[in-house]
Amino acid sequence: MAIKQWNNPPSIQIDMQKHYVASIVTAKGTIKLELYSPHQKL
């Protein structure tokens, strides 16, 4: 299988109206992360 390479990274497309979460599953359990947009006021 050939290695894929790009000239530029993809543009970031974050919908500021959406709520993003990520889950990391490990042998010790699942870690849930809440991802904040870069311009969101906390």
Is 30 inside any structural domain? yes
Residues 40, 17: Cα–Cα separation, whole Å: 10
pTM metric for this prediction: 0.49
Nearest C-alpha neighbor of 20 from the set 5, 1, 35: 35
Q: Residue 37 CB: number of other CB atoms within 10 A?
A: 13
Q: Could you tell me if residue 28 is inside a domain?
A: yes
Could you report the per-residue pLDDT of 1-42, keeping only the tens digit for each? 788 888 998 887 777 788 889 999 999 999 999 987 666 555
Task: Examine residue 3 and state whether it is found in any structural domain, yes or no.
Answer: no
Total tally of structural domains belonging to the chain: 1
Q: For residue 35, what pLDDT is reported?
A: 84
Q: Does residue 24 form part of some domain?
A: yes
Domain that includes residue 25, residue range = 15-42
